Structure 1
Amino acid sequence: MAVADDRRRYMPLPDDRQPERGQPLAYPEAVLLVNPVEAEFTGEVDDKYQYTCENRNLKVHGWISNDPSIGFWQITPSDEFRTGGPLKQNLCSHVGPTCLAVFVGAHYAGDDLIPKFGQGEPWKKVFGPVFIYLNSVMDGQDPLTLWDDAKRQHVYPVFGSNQMAVETSGWPYSFPASEDFPKSNQRGMVYGKLLVRDRFVNSNDMPINGAYVGLAPLGEVGSWQRECKDYQFWTTTDENGVFSINNIRTGNYNLYAWVNGFIGDYRNDSSITITPGCNINVGTLVYEPPRNGPTLWEIGIPDRSAAEFYVPDPNPLFVNKLFLNQPQNKFRQYGLWERYGELYPEGDLIYTIGESDYSKDWFYAQVPR
């Protein structure tokens, strides 16, 4: 199974989840493998949630067979039809071999991301299309290179290549006949520049490389995170704060943004109407993060991630070996919520300003006992 460069592995079998081979853990999806068909998996936890992926990174995932050496890949050139925005996590692959295309999912979010409809409310939406890609290698060649091919040929540009055009650059597809799937010339574009104004950081308005800018349905500040009935279109700024959002479906939108390193959410006060073939220049937008004065202290980094905080080692009885030497994925190990009570049995954490180090002294999740 391959989901990302750092999440590729031989997988247990579905049979290993049966009662005589697997011990159920705290929730049905997690099973401790006590007598797996392949002995190498003994003592590991199988849990499909360990392989979830954020929408923004969920472009290609799938499976490789060694005999014959064939790869089966699901490639999603656009996540415009997925719910919850670029940071929403979705299931993608797990034992089976299972390969999922999740378009609407409440995982990690709950009821807010379940679409709700009033009596007689009209609604329709196009999910996909997604691209299924099969590849193979000759006998004697490394089957794992099939992942590199799927990723290289169909997700990232290959210059000077005569291979199939990159799927992402070919979006929207031209073949769907449905009038509900607009072609490229029936869509619009929005471009501009985003600057951050924070006089306690810099006396000048600042361009930030990698800020997220997107169009989502009309709503309040930050509402894109719970939006689950329509379409969203996101991009990131360059080092000058310049952005361009392409292939936007017609409709009325708000422009939203957030910037790593600065708290809060941005929403432009004016709505944007996309018409077929439009190119809208929104000019220079300025986000002024909320504050009442200089920052006295803060724990961590306002980047919508807990990666900078302390993530404990897993209980050695409940491990996924894939993540044992991957600090960036340690948080995916099973049962870390129980480690909180084990590490701090006498009471909750106290963070002492000027003394504590959030990378060592602050648990990455707020866990009830």
Structure 2
Amino acid sequence: MGLFQLAGVAALALCASAAPAEPRAPKPKSFLKDLGNSTWVIGNGIWNMTQGRQYGVKLWYKGKDRVGPTATGHYVSYNGAASDLNWTSAAIADSGKDWINIKFTAKEGDFHWVIHDDLAGAYQYFVNHALPTLGEFRTLWRLDNVSFPNGHTNVKDGQLPPLSEYAAATNVQDETWQKADGTFLTKYDWSAFVRDQTYYGVYGDEVGSWYINPGKDYYNGDHLKQELMVHRESKTGDAVQLNMIHGTHYLARSSDNFTDGKTWGPWLWYLNDGNKADADNRWKKEDKSWPYEWFKDAAYQSRGSVSGKLVLSDGRPASGAAVFLGDSNSALSAADQGKDYYYTAYADKQGRFTIENVRTGTYGLYAWGNGGNIADVKTSFVQNDVVVSKRKKTDLKSLKWTVTDKSKSIFQIGDFDRTSRGFALSGPTPFEHGRIAKTPGNLTYTVGKSHSSDWYFGQSNLGVWSINFNLKSIPESATGAKLYTSLAGFSSGTKSNILVNNEKIGNISSNAVLLVSSQDTYRGATQAGEWRNLQWDVKKELLKVGENKLDIAVTESTKWRGWLWDSVALEWV
């Protein structure tokens, strides 16, 4: 065998022993293109958006620009519209075979778009680095009003008011107009309870834009946290889709400092053909997948659970109680907490509760009545220093909740549930501008004859609401009585005196009891705002055997401002 033949055999042997070449993995179809001058295009084969320094000014989907010539597009801002984030750079932070994670950087933090090749929309989240102390922080779309004429939340669905209606109406308040027929146009009619949302957004006959926020632990506030969701922009007609991830629209205060690394999200921004059933199915899929396994953040993935059983000191289980896992050792109400992560649940009939997928950390556990079998419970439960560890079940076992003696009750109007539900005009929808002006100035409620439905959800107009009650006897052991005027919300500008048998014992006023005004009644809230439980001592000698009267007399009134009622109760002490 010649030298050439030996070399050929060696070469063949070498080829035979070598491993076959791996096929090259396909690149994702999702993309980021840098056009220079702080302009980028992101998207996939289904949609794309042109992002400038502040605004995502074009959204191409189904062959059309869905932002349009007058709308602002997509942006992130804090403290209302005062501060829009300015993006200084954009880069692909991570990627897989069919997705990319694009990070837009601003001095305050990083906003991420996780774009999959086959997804109409994107997962989004924000990582804080230097946000200032703030009350409002949001992401949003302002979209073409022709493509998106309708709005949807879990409590309201239908056409957004046409821009032409605003031009023919009179502005009477922030984003509120009165029409010639006396009715109102206001963006606040499109508010809803944040933690009750499944999917919400704006839609038309050929396209829908939806926010789907499973988990919701990055939101501030408790079960009754309300926010503006969608609305018509009154100047240009934009269809506005809000993602208020830290909001104050119906609170007295919720101004927080955030640690470096505090993360909001991920949530899903979802596009479809306007089909609500499809959006609902997508919500169910996302909710089932939360917390997302694909989000490879150590703090996000480090979770445990908390469980326990709430038992009242009189032996009753705390059936249906609202349970809130929030800040430990905090002076803030559950509604006002917002610097970290928060979880809500309701106890079952036996008072048991379990909260799964809680980020590891130290929490405060709060509970209060939610009507039903514990509608008389005036106190709240608090236990601090609840530690949640990774992959551990924190079992708090039986928790004793101290309550007042039910047998000492003289009367009670409405459930102690921090809402006005059950009172006249509180529904059917929880938002309507000016509804509080429809409540009477004068009202007489007779204990034993009247019902909670005869009491109204709010009080604002000049006049006297009187409660007549009969005492068959006065306990010798009683040192007096305590009056509870529990408010589901309070907007300053309306004042009242509280009188028992014509003697003043207190008043409802921001000056008198240091009530901080919340943004509820004048923004059309009818069921909840920020709860306060005001308590007043009633001297024993003020009460008598036979007929007695409690008056709540409004002496000063400001239109659309006043308070939402939770409950009025009197008991012996």
Task: Give the TM-score taking structure 2 as reference length.
Answer: 0.49
Q: Which amino acid aligns with 1:23?
A: T
Q: Is the 8 A contact 1:222 1:265 kept in 2?
A: no
Alignment of 1:1-369 (within 5 A): 1-4=150-153, 6-17=155-166, 20-25=167-172, 27-33=173-179, 44-66=183-205, 68=206, 70-95=207-232, 96-110=238-252, 112-115=253-256, 117=257, 123-136=260-273, 146-155=275-284, 166-179=285-298, 181-183=299-301, 186-198=302-314, 204-206=315-317, 208=319, 210-219=320-329, 223-260=333-370, 261=375, 262-268=377-383, 270-291=384-405, 293-311=407-425, 327-329=427-429, 332-340=431-439, 343-344=440-441, 348-360=442-454, 362-367=455-460, 368=494, 369=557
Q: Which runs of 4+ in 1 moved over 4 A?
A: 121-124
Distance in 1 between the 2:271 and 2:447 partners? 55
Q: Is the 8 A contact 1:212 1:259 kept in 2?
A: yes
Q: Is the 8 A contact 1:221 1:265 kept in 2?
A: no
Which secondary structure does the structure 2 equivalent of 1:53 belong to? Answer: strand
**Percent same amino acid among aligned pairs?**
25
Q: Is the 8 A contact 1:60 1:76 kept in 2?
A: yes
Closer, same or farther in 2 for the Cα pair 1:256/1:222, shift >3 Å? farther
Distance in 2 between the 1:45 and 1:246 partners? 43
Distance in 1 between the 2:248 and 2:446 partners? 36
Structure 1 or 2, whichever has the larger Rg, is: 2
Which secondary structure does the structure 2 equivalent of 1:131 belong to? Answer: strand
Offset of residue 149 of structure 1: 2.7
- Cα deviations across residues 234-289 of structure 1 (Å, max 9, x unaligned)? 22222333221111112111111122212221112x51122222211111223232
Instruction: Kindly indicate whether structure 1 or structure 2 has the higher relative contact order, using CA contacts under 8 Å at least 6 residues apart.
Output: 1
Distance in 2 between the 1:43 and 1:149 partners? 38
Distance in 2 between the 1:52 and 1:359 partners? 24
Which secondary structure does the structure 2 equivalent of 1:307 belong to? Answer: coil
Q: Is the 8 A contact 2:198 2:283 kept in 1?
A: no
Closer, same or farther in 2 for the Cα pair 1:224/1:43, shift >3 Å? closer
Distance in 1 between the 2:185 and 2:261 partners? 37
Q: Which residue of 1 aligns with 2:116?
A: none
Q: Which residue of 1 aligns with 2:46?
A: none
Q: Is the 8 A contact 2:152 2:158 kept in 1?
A: no
Q: Which residue of 1 aligns with 2:60?
A: none
C-alpha root-mean-square deviation of aligned residues, in Å?
Answer: 2.6
Number of aligned residues = 303
Q: Which amino acid aligns with 2:401?
A: Y
Q: Is the 8 A contact 1:221 1:266 kept in 2?
A: no
Distance in 1 between the 2:153 and 2:328 partners? 33
Q: Is the 8 A contact 2:311 2:317 kept in 1?
A: yes
Q: Which amino acid aligns with 1:11?
A: L
Distance in 2 between the 1:74 and 1:105 partners? 16
Offset of residue 306 of structure 1: 0.6
Q: Is the 8 A contact 1:55 1:85 kept in 2?
A: no
Distance in 2 between the 1:7 and 1:50 partners? 8
Offset of residue 196 of structure 1: 2.9
Where is the strand percentage greater, Structure 1 or Structure 2?
2
Which secondary structure does the structure 2 equivalent of 1:224 belong to? Answer: coil
Q: Which residue of 2 aligns with 1:322?
A: none
Distance in 2 between the 1:205 and 1:221 partners? 28
Q: Which residue of 1 aligns with 2:110?
A: none
Structure 1 gap segments, 5+ residues each: 35-41, 137-142, 156-165, 199-203, 313-326
Which secondary structure does the structure 1 equivalent of 2:344 belong to? Answer: strand
- Cα deviations across residues 171-223 of structure 1 (Å, max 9, x unaligned)? 122333455x512xx2111122223343xxxxx43251x32223211135873
Which secondary structure does the structure 1 equivalent of 2:325 belong to? Answer: strand
Which secondary structure does the structure 2 equivalent of 1:169 belong to? Answer: helix
Q: Is the 8 A contact 2:324 2:334 kept in 1?
A: no
Distance in 2 between the 1:223 and 1:133 partners? 34
Closer, same or farther in 2 for the Cα pair 1:296/1:222, shift >3 Å? farther
Q: Which amino acid aligns with 1:357?
A: H
Closer, same or farther in 2 for the Cα pair 1:2/1:51, shift >3 Å? same
